[in-house]
Structure 1
Amino acid sequence: MYLKSKHPQPPSVPDANAYFAMFGGPDDPQPADFTAHIDASSGRQRSYYELRQLVKEGATALAAPESAGGLGLSAEAGHMVGLYSHNYMDYIAMVNSLVYVGVPISLLSAYSTPYELAHALRTSKTTHMFIQPDFLPKALEAAKQHGLPEDRIYVMEGTSAGRKSFQDLINQVRECGTPLVAPKAVAKNTLAYLVFSSGTSGLPKAVMISHGNIWAMIFAQMIQKQEDEKLTNPPPPEAPPIWLLFLPFYHTFGLHMACFRQFFVPNTYVLVPKWDVHLVLKSIPKYGVHVIPLIPSAIHQMVNHPLFKKVDLSSLVSVSSGAAYLPPELTRKFMRVIKNASVMTEGYGMSEQTLSSIRKPLPGLFGLHAPMGCTGILLPGVEARIVRPDGSEADFDQPGELWVRAPNVALGYYGNEKATRETFVDGWLRTGDTFKADRNELLYFVDRAKDTLKVSGAQVSPTEVEDTLSEHPDRLITDVCVAGVTGGRTSDEKNPRAWIVLSEEGKLKGEQATIAALDGWIKKNLSRYKWLRGGFEVVDSIPKNPTGKVMRRVLVDRYEARLAGKSKL
């Protein structure tokens, strides 16, 4: 089945720096100044004009030659800047400064352990890092493993003894009287940033997003907004809408909400450094928040928090969910309390799509009324195919793998040609996710990618967890399989569980002691969301097909059958 977006075709992506997509060119009219950012923890504010100037000065501090007080960064010199931090105002400024000068960014998870961080630094070939000050010990340990000199580690926001911050570098070029650098001239296929994704299997891979991909996403959102407003005909806002952002900026969803989407129309963003359900619920009435983008695990925690039905959430007029499948029952629980937001806007995307490719339409848009459980329609400029396992095209209401083609599809995986060839085929992105489409071309999510799990909206690669278990220094196992089992926060979310085959060393140590040792090893080396909440099970062997491929489904089915049997007792 071939599908094409019902929206008007967006403009062609220009060969131009994505900075101009956010802040406009020198001859473009600028909006009146407004409050761009508010820190939810401290109340500190930054205006749009202050931010715009900071981006230019930050770009100068990063790219000006060392003789003029700058760092002398450039893509031509092979520089790659890693950002390792939770959400801060200067994170947004730094991202846009680096885009401005055309130096690629490596977005590093703030929850990375030194083990994970070292892998990300090696994969992205990071040459410089800006970090949250209290992350310095982990950053130093990972940098040592990667071979990154300590004097190339800087502080993003705040202070750290002996290390310059982003603001220190700006002050340095100011003192030198260094003229502001101009935006770097780049092509649409120039690398803008790397974001880490497991794809459909394997260790985390660095997805390459270009300047053109950012332009394409901005254009798609612009067309989508125009079509929505034809239907709703809203009055001009008296002031910029107020958003609450807790989504991590190193994640695709949070990055685009905070660093790119804000600027094609004025918005005020209340920034939460990291997910804190209590702070989020308190901040909504405190700042009169109108819009909040969410993920299913956050919605789950909100509806089960004692404050949810006590605080005044009447200011919310728009709520959306992304990053993972949202069960209809969870939607119903949430929307019963959010009285002034008529619908929960949902969508589907992945890092390899820059942000997204499907969005649930407003009721009546294109004559459609998407039922609960429907994922939506294709965004502007997006084409799709639904392909059966045998490679043939699925018919209406038949499930198959979703393939996507659009200007926002990523360039591929950085330094990984094999994975790129497997996932990006003849201009199409193989998502690995199963969908079906009805005769109105409304798309429905059917199943998650074969191997990759979604936990709290983040991807968990079973292969990464398996490899980490196998690397335990005491060699306690000879084989392992990790897969998702029932028990997550939502019906769609699965808990990672490990099936292990003990080595002679493991047998001598004993099952319980071996499991305790492996569990401690995982908790030391992997982020919390990758921990084995589904538990461990010792087995005699891991089932495999004749070609040696692990049959995860067999182990999961056995476990779920036992679980179902116990529930009937």
Structure 2
Amino acid sequence: MFRTADPESIKDHTLYIDAISGRKRSFVEFRERIYDAATALSAPPSQGGLGIDGANGEIVGIYSHNCLDYIVLVHALLVITTPISLLSAYATPFELAHAMRTSKVTRLFVQASHYSKALKAAEEVGLPVDRIYVLEGHHDSKKNVQDLIDDVQRSGAPRVAVKPATRDTLAYLVFSSGTSGLPKAVMISHGNIWTTLTASAVTKQTEDKFMNAVPPPSPPIWLLFLPFYHTYGVHMACFRNFISASTYVVVPKWDIELVLRSIQRFAVQVLPLIPSAMHQLVNHELTTKTDLSSIVHVHSGAAYLPPVLAKKMKSFVHNTPLVFEGYGMSEQTLSAARIPIPGMFGTETKVGSVGVLIPGMEARILRPDGSDADVDEPGELWVKGGNVALGYFGNEKATKETFIDGWLRTGDTFKADKDGWLYLKLDSFVDRAKDTLKVSGAQVSPTEIEDCIRAHPDKLVVDVCVAGVSGGRTSDEKNPRAWIVLSDSGRQLGLEKTIGILDQWTRQNLSSYKWLRGGYELVDQIPKSPTGKVLRRVLQDKYEQTATRAKL
């Protein structure tokens, strides 16, 4: 990324801008800060460093909203081949402890305002307080990235060399629920990053030849509010930007008013979005009052984009003839398919398709019996390529179920036409979503919410089922709803009081996007199959039928 043969991409230019302060960091400044930070992390304590060494099993967690030094820290750790655990900035101490325990974090960098929550989680998992550092800003006497750099520079420690990595060297862990269950730590390797970047570079070169839209000036200005602890965000912020020279305006977290102000203030030209954010943008009163004329490209990812929403977005951004979208998941590092530029393969864009395979990918569509489906016949999509993750960290069972002989079972139902265009069977995708929900572009595990409810110390329920119901902002976004069977303690308190206690408990221990906005419902028993599997669909269908009758 920093030793490219393309002279255009190594010319110094403004690489990052802090959306709030306006602070800028050039390409050269950023590159130098990476090597300074890498030295501060890995130099021995005798030279003022932290002595971090991935070869000794070190894994460094990052618990923060977006900021400039988040990106520096990611790259510095890649330089010294020390794996990173990308932890949700919205995690409660309860969630954070689970993630830290799952990813075996040995050091933790946190946002200053998150320190107290991080300390609670660290105490629970046994992480010593002297292994917690601040990313940017200050908290009491804790050192931040700049302090650590100052320490090694005062000691005169020589800069560390880049440590070698192979294709299978672990680069980072990102949390995903995969096709079911609790969030799992997906293992992304240095080779996965390399493959994804190469595919993106080839795609960009090809697309540039077929672009009908006015190309943005060089370097184009992007807006980044996507969380860096998610697959989409970390690639946009840390990796994708080194394919060609670009400038990135960094927004700490989603704030629609700040996003709109930043678009106008910095004349943003490229806007990566998720469908739920796009939905808010096209429906917000300030959008019509904001100058969006600078925007040339709009990208969408992380969830299914309804065509009607894409069409409405285009009506606001007149310079954009299409919204770039595709299909991906964390287990594919970033993506497996992308909609090509019209005319690129002798065809126009096909409505309802997620596109064609990206360079380097293979795919199969399998019937339930394991045989290959025919053209236009639906089946489960399996993909294979250098961007398929190594597996799930510390979870051999889930790895064996999902990663088979180099193939990744996506759990999603697709069909492919004679030209190789892929179509996601949305109703089947939503059916799978009974085990993994998409809320604001983030994965939500019903099992995690159920476990939280069961963990209440007063044991107010004997059984619980959580599933998604209608009411989200887009067609594939569902609101989590809980069906509960009360215990004796719960019955004594009464339904209303029990629900109030449980709701307060989940809000204390779960991130806001996991809250039960779909409500609670008392049932006599949770329907299950003869083998004991919870039949979420039975409860979902009954709820939707009742809701439909109520509307009528």
TM bracket, shorter-chain basis: over 0.9
Alignment pair present for 1:24 and 2:8: no
Aligned to 1:397: 376
Moved more, 398-407 or 144-153: 398-407
Q: Which moved more, 1:115-124 or 1:387-396?
A: 387-396
Matched position secondary structure for 2:453: helix
- The match for 1:103 among 60, 82, 86 is 82
Q: Residue 16 of structure 1 aligns with which residue?
A: none
User: Which digits, 9 at most, give the CA deviation of each residue in 1:200-255, with x for residues without a partner?
Assistant: 11111100000000000000001101111232399997531100000000100000
Give the superposition deviation at 1:289.
Answer: 0.7
Q: Among residues 521, 534, 538, which one is paired with 1:550 in the alignment? A: 534
Q: Distance in 2 between matches of 1:477 and 1:395?
A: 47
The alpha carbon displacement at 1:77 in A equals: 1.4
Deviations 1:397-441 (A, max 9, x none): 222211110100000000000000001011110111122222222
Residue 214 of structure 1 is matched in structure 2 by 193
The 1:237–1:313 alpha-carbon spacing in structure 2 relative to 1, beyond 3 Å, is closer
The aligned runs of 1:9-48 (5 Å cut-off) are 22-24=1-3, 31-48=10-27
Identify if the C-alpha distance between structure 1 residues 212 and 268 changes in structure 2 by more than 3 Å, giving closer, same or farther.
same
| Corresponding residue to 2:512 among 516, 523, 528 | 528
Take 1:238 and 1:324, find their aligned partners in 2: how far apart are those partners? 29
| C-alpha distance in 1 between matches for 2:419 and 2:487 | 55
Deviation readout 1:363-402 (Å, 9 max, x if unpaired) = 1111122233221111000111112223232222222211
1:378 aligns with 2:357: yes
Structure 2: distance between partners of 1:333 and 1:34: 34
The residue type paired with residue 525 of structure 2 is S
- The alpha-carbon distance between structure 1 residues 123 and 223, as it changes in their structure 2 partners (threshold 3 A), is same
Task: Name the aligned partner's letter for residue 20 of structure 2.
Answer: S
Q: Matched residues in 2 for 1:415 and 1:103: separation? A: 17
Q: 1:122: which partner in 2?
A: 101
Residue type of the alignment partner of 1:461: S
The aligned counterpart of 2:461 is 477
Structure 2 equivalent of residue 73 of structure 1: 52
Counterpart of 1:263? 242
Give the match for residue 425 of structure 2.
Answer: 446
Task: State the SS of the aligned residue for 1:542.
Answer: coil
The one-letter amino acid of 2:480's match is: P
3-state DSSP of counterpart to 2:507: helix
1:438–1:27 Cα change, 3 Å: closer
Cα pair 2:453 2:502 within 8 Å, conserved: yes
8 Å contact kept, 2:9–2:243: no
Q: Distance in 2 between matches of 1:233 and 1:319?
A: 14
CA distance in 2 between counterparts of 1:538 and 1:281 reads: 42
Q: Distance in 1 between matches of 2:9 and 2:330?
A: 31
The letter for the 2-side match of 1:417 is E
In structure 1, the partner of 2:482 is 498
Question: Among residues 535, 538, 544, which one is paired with 2:522 in the alignment?
Answer: 538
- CA distance in structure 2 between the partners assigned to 1:172 and 1:79 by the alignment: 21
Q: Residues of 1 paired with 2:488 and 2:305: CA distance?
A: 44
Match of 2:446 among 444, 462, 467: 462
Which residue number in structure 1 is paired with residue 288 of structure 2?
A: 309
1:75-224 equivalence runs, <5 A: 75-224=54-203
TM-score (norm 2): 0.97
- Quote the residue 2:471 is aligned against: 487
Change (3 A) 1:39 1:564: same
* Pairing partner for 1:244 from 217, 220, 223: 223
Contact 2:527 2:535 in 1 (8 A): yes
* Cα 1:235/1:534, change in 2 over 3 Å: closer
Q: C-alpha distance in 2, partners of 1:228/1:307?
A: 33
> What amino acid is the match of 1:277?
I
The answer as to whether partners of 2:332 and 2:387 remain within 8 angstroms in 1 is yes
Q: Could you list the per-position Cα deviations for residues 513-556 of structure 1 after superposition, in whole angstroms to 9, with x for gaps in the alignment?
A: 11111111110100011111111111011111111111111111
The answer to whether 1:518 aligns with 2:497 is no
CA distance in 1, matches of 2:309, 2:8: 43
Matches of 1:316 and 1:566 in 2, distance apart? 42
Take 1:455 and 1:390, find their aligned partners in 2: how far apart are those partners?
A: 32
Question: Partners of 1:556 and 1:209 in 2: how far apart?
Answer: 35
Partner of 1:436: 415
TM-score (norm 1): 0.94
Counterparts of 1:25 and 1:68, CA distance in 2:
31
| Local SS of the residue matching 1:336 | helix
Pick which of 496-505 and 140-149 moved more.
496-505
Contact 2:199–2:359 under 8 Å retained in 1: yes
Go from structure 1 to structure 2 and tell me whether the alpha carbon gap of 1:63 and 1:29 turns closer, same or farther (over 3 Å shift): farther
Residue type of the alignment partner of 1:270: V
Q: How does 1:227-242 map to 2 (within 5 A)?
A: 227-232=206-211, 239-242=218-221
CA shift digits 1:279-327 (9 cap, x unpaired): 1111112111110110000001101111111211011110010000011
Counterpart pick for 1:355 among 334, 337, 340? 334
In the TM superposition, residue 26 of structure 1 has moved relative to its aligned partner by 10
**Residues 43-87 of structure 1, C-alpha deviations (whole Å, 9 max, x = no match):** 111100000000000000001111111101011111110000000
Cα pair distance change 1:315/1:27, threshold 3 Å: closer
For the residue of structure 2 that corresponds to 1:566, the secondary structure is: helix
| Structure 1 position 456, deviation (Å) | 0.3
Gaps of 5+ in 2: none
Do structure 1's residue 345 and structure 2's residue 349 form an aligned pair? Answer: no
Q: State whether residues 370 and 442 of structure 1, in contact with CA within 8 Å, keep that contact through their aligned partners in structure 2.
A: no
Change beyond 3 A, Cα 1:238–1:483: closer
- The 2-side partners of 1:561 and 1:424 are apart by 37
Matched residue SS, 1:83: strand
- Helix, strand or coil: the match of 2:181? coil
Partner of 1:412: 391
Using the TM superposition, give the Cα deviation of residue 28 of structure 1 relative to its aligned residue in structure 2, in angstroms. Answer: 8.0
- Looking at structure 2, the residues matched to 54 and 195 of structure 1 have their Cα atoms a distance apart, in angstroms, of 24
Confirm or deny: 8 A CA contact 2:8 2:245 kept in the other structure: no
Contact 1:361 1:368 (8 Å CA) reproduced? no
Helix, strand or coil for the counterpart of 2:452?
helix
Contact 1:100 1:184 in 2 (8 A): yes
* Secondary structure, aligned partner of 2:287: coil
Which stretch of the first structure deviates more once superposed, 393-402 or 171-180?
Answer: 393-402
Name the aligned partner's letter for residue 302 of structure 1: L
Please give the alpha-carbon distance, in whole angstroms, between the structure 2 residues aligned to 1:47 and 1:130: 24
The 2-side partners of 1:170 and 1:378 are apart by 43
Q: Residue 231 of structure 2 contacts residue 330 of structure 2 at CA under 8 Å; is this kept in 1?
A: yes
Per-residue deviation at 1:27? 11
Q: How many residues align?
A: 547
Q: For residues 511 and 227 of structure 2, what CA distance do their matches in structure 1 show?
A: 14
In 2, are the aligned partners of 1:83 and 1:107 still within 8 Å (CA)?
yes
